[in-house]
Amino acid sequence: MKLNIEGLLVYFPYDYIYPEQYSYMLELKRTLDAKGHGVLEMPSGTGKTISLLSLIVAYQRVSSAFPLDVTKLIYCSRTVPEIEKVVEELRKLMEFYAKETGERNNFLALALSSRKNLCIHPEVSSLRFGKEVDGKCHSLTASYIRAQRHVNPNQPVCRFYEEFDAVGRQVPLPAGIYNLDDLKDFGRRKGWCPYYLARYAILHANIVVYSYHYLLDPKIADLVSKELAKKSVVVFDEAHNIDNVCIDSMSVNITRRTLDRCQNNVDTLQNTIQKIKETDAAKLREEYRRLVEGLKEANVARETDIYLSNPVLPDEILKEAVPGTIRTAEHFVGFLRRFLEYLKSRLRVHHVVQESAPQFLKDIFDKVCIDRKPLRFCAERLQSLLRTLEIADIADFSAVTLISNFATLVSTYSQGFTIIIEPFEDRTPTIANPVLHFSCMDPSIAIKPVFQRFQSVIITSGTLSPLDIYPRILDFRPVTMASFTMTLNTFNVCLCLVALSSKFETREDFAVIRNYGNLLLEMSAVVPDGIVAFFTSYVYMENIVASWYEQGILENIQRNKLIFIETQDAAETSMALEKYQEACENGRGAILLSVARGKVSEGIDFVHHFGRAVIMFGVPYVYTQSRILKARLEYLRDQFQIRENDFLTFDAMRHAAQCVGRAIRGKTDYGLMIFADKRYARADKRGKLPRWIQEHINDGSLNLTVDETVQLSKHFLRQMAQPFRQEDQLGLSLLTLEQLESEEMLQKITQIAHQT
C-alpha cells in the first residue's frame, strides 16, 4: 500500500499495516526532519525493520530531488542472521517499488561482514575461525607482500584481490540488493574479492547493513567507516546492549600469558631489525625519515593492513610527528622492553590494586621514566615498524599489538577508564593468575563520534525501557523518545508472576530448587511443543540441573518432553538447539534450559511452537561482586547521577525482558511468560519492564502459586489454540489503507506512541 506520512509518500510492501507501525514511522519521520537523534522502542514482531526501511527509503528518494538531505542509511545490527534478514526485507521492499512504479530504481544496498563470511578464496575460506581467516588473508594481500611479488613472482597472493584491485575499482557495483551470498556469487562470477568489493562499495551505496563493530570499535571503524558521508542516517537495531558493545571495544585485559607472548614478539622484532640492518639498512633509514616528516605520510593506511589501526578515536589521534625517543627502530624496541618490564612488575602484586589512568602514568614515569607522549604514539609507531619489517603473519603479533594499544589508550584518556589489577580469581584465591583490567566505564566515549558525525542516529529495540536511561549513559540529546506497544484484539501473551524466591542467599536452598523443578515439571505436562527456561547464570544452572537429577525431577520431565541444555561450548549448544527445534517440529516437544545473558538469550528466536512458554527462574542480576562492575557503578553515580541499584535493576530487567521476549515474535504468535520470582512483583522491577510486558501484568497474574499458574496456563492455551482470524484483527490491530485514513483511527494512532 502507499501511505501518506505527513506529506511523505511511503511505499509499504504489504496489504495491511499495524497501527503501531504507522505511528513508528510518524515518529521516525519527525526525527529525520529535525535532523536529530531518536530512541524508539517497539516490541519485536511488530515489523520494526520494514517500517524503518520503508520510511527511510522513501525519505532518501525524496531527498534525491532535494539534494543534501539524507544520502545514506547505515543500518547496524548485531548478529549475522539479523543482518541478512534486514537485507532480505529490503529486497522485498525494493521489489514492491519496482512493481508499483514500474521502473527499476538505481538503488544500491549491500551487507558487509567479516572476511570469514565473505571470502571465496578456496584455501582461506576453508579456515574455521574468523581470526585465522583474517590472518591468512592478510598474509596474501598486505601491501608489502604484494610489493614483493613484483620482485619475486613466486610469492603467493590472492588472485581475487589482485583482480579486484586491477579492475574492480573502476566499475561501480551495479545497482541492486546484495546480501552476503549475493556478494559472493558476484565475486565468483567476476573473479573479484567480495570482501574488498563490499568495503569499497559501501562508500557509494545507498544503504549499508553491517554490524555494530564497524562503527563503534575504533580499531575497525577507522579503516572501514571513516569515509562514509556525514549526511547519513545511522540506525542501531537491537540496541539494548549498545553500552556494553561500546565498553568492550575500548577495554583491554592483560594476563601473564599476554606478557610472555609479548616478550617473544619483542625478541622477534629485535632479531628482525638486526637482520634487516645487515641486509637492507636503507629501509630503516627511510622509515626514520618518514617519521621525522610527520605521521601524515606514514598514515596513508593501505586498506589491506587491517591489523594496524589505532585503538583510540580519530579525533584523539595526535597530528604531529612521532617523538624522537622512539623514532629509531632499536630505540622503540628498547622502549617496548622497558614498558613490558614495568607491566610485569605491576602484575607481581599480592593484593588488588585499583587506580586511575593519571595515577598509572605518574607511576610509570616515576618508576621507569616513560613519558606520556611516546606512550600515546606507541600503537602508531608499532604499525609503522611492522610495516617496515614486512612481517607476514601479523596474527602472531597480537600480543605486542595489544600492549601498544593499551599504552596508547591509557595515555590518551584520563577520564572514564579505570585500571584494576587482580592477583588471583575470587573463587580460587590460592592460584595466582594476575590480570590487569583496563576497562572503559563510559560507553559514551566510543559512541560520541557517531553522534557528532552523523545527522541522525536512531536507537531502536524491543527492550529499551526505561527510555530515559539510554540518553543518559550514552550522553546524547534525542529529539524523540517513544515507546510503542503491540496492539492486539485478544491478549496473545499470558504473563504469570510466580511467587518463588531465588534471592542470592536463599537460592541454594533445597526447597527453592525443588519448587522450581515442580514448576517446570507441571508446565511440561501442560504446554505443547517447546518450553524455554532461563537461569540467572551458568554455574547456577549446573547446580540446579544436578540437584534436579538427584531428586528425580528431570526423569519425570523426560516423560513429557526431551531435555536439552545450553553448555559453555557454542558448537555443542548449536547442536542441542537444532535438536531442540527438531523435537518441537516433529511433535515430541522439548525443553531447553538456557542462561540469561548467554548466547541463546541474545541471538536465537523461538517463534511459534519453538517457544510456547518461557520461564525465567530468578532475576538475572549481573555478578555484582566484580570489581570492574563496582567501578562502573561508582562512575555512573558520580558522572550521570544514576544510582547503583537503579542501574543494576535496569540491567537485570532488560535481560529478563530480552529472555521472555524471545518467544513472542509476532501477532500471530502466542506464548506464556512466566517470571518465577516474587521480586518481579515489586514496583521498582515492574516499572522497568518494557511497556508491552507491563500491559499484561494485572492483579490476577501476580503472586501466583504453582497450581494457580498451571490452571491459568491451561485456560490460556486452550483459548489460544482456536484459529486466528484476520477479520477479528482488522480495524483494531490490523488496518487497511481506508481504515488507516479514517479520522478516528488517526486520532487513536497518535496516542499509541508513549512519549517520555
Q: Is the dihedral of CA 138, 450, 602, 247 positive or negative?
A: positive
CB 215, CB 234: distance < 8 Å: yes
The answer to whether the CB of 531 falls within 8 A of the CB of 592 is: yes
Alpha helical stretches, state H, 389-534? 398-412, 443-453, 469-474, 510-526
Q: Among residue numbers 176 through 195, which ones bind other proteins (CB under 8 A)?
A: 181, 184
Stretch that binds other proteins, among 82-90, 166-174, 326-334, 374-382 (CB under 8 A): 82-90
Q: Report the residue from 285, 367, 588, 643 that binds other proteins according to the rule CB under 8 A.
A: 588
Q: Which is nearer to other proteins, 64 or 556 (CB)?
A: 556
Residues 356-385 that bind other proteins (CB under 8 A): none
d(CA 215, CA 223): 10
* Residue 577 is a binding residue for other proteins (CB under 8 A): yes
Among 95, 303, 330, 555, binds other proteins (CB under 8 A): 555
User: Of the candidates 124, 329, 481, 554, which one interacts with other proteins according to CB under 8 A?
Assistant: 554
How far, in Å, CA of 420 to CA of 399, rounded? 19
Task: State which of residues 109, 364, 563, 672 lies at the interface with other proteins (CB under 8 A).
Answer: 563
Choose one: 46-54, 233-241, 352-360, 375-383; the region binding other proteins (CB under 8 A).
46-54
Helix 510-526, helix 706-720: angle, nearest 10: 20
> In the bound complex, what is the minimum distance in angstroms from residue 290's beta carbon to other proteins?
27
For the CB of residue 75, give the shortest distance to other proteins in the complex, in Å. 13
Helix (H) / strand (E) element for 436: namely strand 432-440
User: Amino acid identity of 604?
Assistant: I
How many C-beta atoms lie closer than 10 Å to residue 100's C-beta? 12
Alpha-carbon torsion (316, 320, 324, 326), positive or negative: positive
Establish if 552 lies at the interface with other proteins (CB under 8 A): yes
- Residue placing its CB nearer to other proteins in the complex, 327 or 655: 655
- Residue 44 contacts other proteins per CB under 8 A: no
- In this structure, are residues 11 and 453 in contact, taking their beta carbons and an 8 Å threshold? no
Scanning residues 15 to 34, which ones bind other proteins (CB under 8 A)? 15-18
Q: Which of 545, 642, 681, 746 binds other proteins (CB under 8 A)?
A: 545
Between CA 756 and CA 753 the distance in angstroms is: 9
Which amino acid, 314?
P
Residues from 299 through 328 that contact other proteins (CB under 8 A): none
| Footprint on residues 471-530 left by other proteins (CB under 8 A) | none
Of 714, 661, 690, 667, which is closest to residue 532 (Cα–Cα)?
661
Q: For residue 755, what are the β-bridge partners?
A: 482
**How near is the Cβ of 559 to other proteins at its closest, in Å?**
4
The DSSP symbol for 696 reads T
Q: What is the DSSP letter of 699?
A: G
Residue window 228-267: x/- pattern of binding to other proteins, with contact defined by CB under 8 A: ----------------x--xxx-xxxxx--x---------
- CB count within 10 Å of CB 271 equals 10
417 binding other proteins? (CB under 8 A): no
Amino acid identity of residue 322, one-letter, is V
With contacts defined by CB under 8 A, name the span among 12-20, 232-240, 372-380, 471-479 that binds other proteins: 12-20
Task: Please name which of 524, 496, 485, 489 lies closest in space to residue 716, comparing C-alpha atoms.
Answer: 496
User: What are the start-end ranges of the E strands in 536-624?
Assistant: 562-565, 590-595, 613-617
Contact with other proteins (CB under 8 A): which of 148, 354, 398, 551?
Answer: 398
Residue number with CB closer to other proteins (353 or 607): 607
CA 692 to chain CA mean position, Å: 23
Least CB distance to other proteins at residue 65 (A): 29
Q: Which is nearer to other proteins, 327 or 437 (CB)?
A: 437
Q: d(Cα 671, Cα 613) in Å, to the nearest integer? A: 5
Binder of other proteins out of 40, 481, 590, 712 (CB under 8 A): 590
439 lies in the binding site for other proteins (CB under 8 A): yes
The yes or no reply on residue 575 touching other proteins (CB under 8 A) is: yes
Among residues 101, 274, 490, 568, which is the contact residue for other proteins, using CB under 8 A?
Answer: 568
What the block records as the C-alpha cell of 501 is: 524466591
Residue 215: other Cβ atoms inside 10 A: 27
How far lies 444's CA from each of 104, 373, 441, 475, in Å?
41, 25, 9, 6
Q: Minimum distance between the CB of residue 255 and other proteins, rounded to whole angstroms? A: 8
CA 664 to chain CA centroid, nearest Å = 21
Find out whether the peptide bond into 43 is cis, omega within 30 degrees of 0: no
Contact residue for other proteins among 497, 734, 749, 752 (CB under 8 A): 734
Q: Which is nearer to other proteins, 497 or 513 (CB)?
A: 513
Q: Which of residues 131-160 bind other proteins (CB under 8 A)?
A: 131
For residues 373 and 599, which CB has a smaller minimum distance to other proteins in the complex?
599
Residue showing cell 611492522: 386
Look at strands 8-11 and 456-461 and give their pairing.
unpaired
Identify any residues that bridge with 72 across adjacent strands, giving them in sequence order: 232
Say whether residue 739 binds other proteins (CB under 8 A). no
Instruction: Please tell me whether residue 666 binds other proteins under the rule CB under 8 A.
Output: yes
For other proteins, the closer CB: 139 or 729? 729
| Binding letters toward other proteins, positions 610-649, x by CB under 8 A | ------------xx--x-xx--------------------
- 41 touches other proteins (CB under 8 A): no
Using the minimum distance from each CB to other proteins, give the nearer residue, 214 or 377: 214
Could you give phi then psi for residue 122, rounded to 5 degrees?
-60, -40
Residues 693-732 that bind other proteins (CB under 8 A): 718, 721-726, 729
Minimum CB distance to other proteins smaller for 365 or for 623: 623
Nearer to other proteins, 295 or 716 (CB): 716
Asked if residue 490 lies in contact with residue 729, where contact means CB atoms within 8 angstroms, the answer is: no
The count of residues interacting with other proteins (CB under 8 A) is 117
Candidate list 561, 654, 678, 679; residue touching other proteins; CB under 8 A: 561
101 binds other proteins (CB under 8 A): no
Q: Which is nearer to other proteins, 150 or 427 (CB)?
A: 427
Enumerate residues 110-129 that contact other proteins by CB under 8 A.
113-114, 116-117, 122, 125-126, 128
Residue 235 burial by Cβ neighbours in a 10 Å radius (0-12, 13-18, 19+): buried
Which residue lies nearer to other proteins by CB, 125 or 155?
A: 125
Q: Which of 63, 64, 79, 354 binds other proteins (CB under 8 A)?
A: 79
Rounded to a whole number of angstroms, the minimum distance from the CB of residue 404 to other proteins is 12
- Residue-wise DSSP of 350-399: SS-EEE-HHHHHHHHHHHH---HHHHHTHHHHHHHHHHHTT-S-GGGGHH
Q: How far is the CB of 297 from other proteins (least distance, A)?
A: 28
Which CB atom, from 63 or from 255, has the smaller least distance to other proteins? 255
593, 535 Cβ separation under 8 angstroms: yes
**Judged by CB under 8 A, does residue 424 bind other proteins?**
no
C-alpha cell at 139: 598474509
For 586, other C-beta atoms within 10 Å of its C-beta total 9
Q: Which of residues 195-234 bind other proteins (CB under 8 A)?
A: 210-211, 213-214, 217, 220
| d(C-alpha 659, C-alpha 301), whole Å | 43
User: Minimum distance from CB of 411 to other proteins (Å)?
Assistant: 18
Closer CB to other proteins, residue 157 or residue 607? Answer: 607
551 interacts with other proteins by CB under 8 A: no
Compute the distance between CA of residue 594 and CA of residue 187 in angstroms, rounded to an integer. 39
Residue nearer to other proteins on the CB measure, 219 or 453: 219
